[in-house]
Chains A and B, each alone.
Chain A
Amino acid sequence: MNPAAILDHQFRVAAYVISWGIQLGYLGWLAAKWRAQKQDAARNRRDGEKAALRAGQ
């Protein structure tokens, strides 16, 4: 294999790896954001229930 072909192969591999890094990184960021939202929603619900209980006492 000549050096130019080896370099082409390395560039192609790097391009594909970078693409998947970017795409999966974004998916991971979205998943983290979604998870944080779910936790916030659960906390708000618990706080609301506590406040309702206090108001009833």
Chain B
Amino acid sequence: MKKTIFTLYAAITVALMIWGYYQAIYVAPTDALQGEIFRIIFYHVPLFIGAFLFFAISLCGSIGFLAFRRTHPEWAQSADAWALAGAEVGVVFCSNALILGSMWGRRAWGIWWTWDARLTTTLILWLIYVSYLLMRRFAAGPQVQTLAAVLGIFGALDIPIVYMSNRWFRTQHPAPVFGGDPGSGMDKSMLVPFGWNVMAWLAWGILLLILRHHVERQNQKFAEDEAAESLNASN
């Protein structure tokens, strides 16, 4: 049953991605000022929305792990798997969005990178979560999950700073399109394709998140089995 639901969800996600692509290329009009390069927005912004969502899931997982690690170890392990999955998928989305932003900047501003407030805070966010993943990959010992959870919680503090950065500091990055000054926003002819792409990318990200969580839970079970076998062998 679970497998059927997952397969159905994957099929809907693929259909949404194809529909999103069609909307971005054939339905959305060409921007009057920026021309075709503006179509990068249909991938760039949804990818960042996804990255923020998955880092927030990682934060919830980290809090859950710390809250349940003594009282409900099984819940804590599942929360830890969500924390890892959220951080990893978030890093994939954030890396992708940063690359697209750099390409867009090259055409729009004539530069690949600048130390503007939005770009710099985003790079810091990316570095924090890359360090989280590196720690989980290379550190050993019983405290790794706890340390990772603490890093995950503090790393998430950068999310609101990234969000607010181009509201607090007016530097190179454009002012917010959504939730910005009066008069900001997007024309309906672009808003509909944008909405489809946000939905498609979130569905895709959730698919990756579920898969990554499943793989991590299997890893935890193998590790538990191995520990039990070692204990039996030593007794």
* A interface list, Cβ under 8 A from B: 4-5, 7-9, 11-12, 14-16, 18-19, 22-23, 26-27, 30, 33-34, 37, 40-41, 44
Whether A19 lies near B36 (C-beta < 8 A) is no
- Would A26 and B107 count as touching, CB distance under 8 A? no
A-B contact pairs, 5 of them (CB 8 A): A8-B107, A12-B36, A12-B39, A23-B208, A30-B208
* Shortest CB distance B194–A (Å): 15
Known A-B contacts A8-B35, A23-B92, A26-B92; A15 and B219 likewise in contact (beta carbons under 8 Å): no
B51 to chain A, nearest CB (A): 12
Q: Please give 6 more A-B residue pairs, beta carbons under 8 A apart, in addition to A16-B43, A18-B100.
A: A8-B34, A8-B36, A15-B44, A22-B96, A26-B92, A30-B212
Q: Which residues of B are in contact with A by a Cβ distance under 8 Å?
A: 21, 34-37, 39-40, 43-44, 47, 92, 95-96, 99-100, 103-104, 106-107, 204, 208, 211-212, 214-215, 218-219, 222, 225
Q: How far is the CB of A29 from chain B (nearest CB, A)?
A: 10
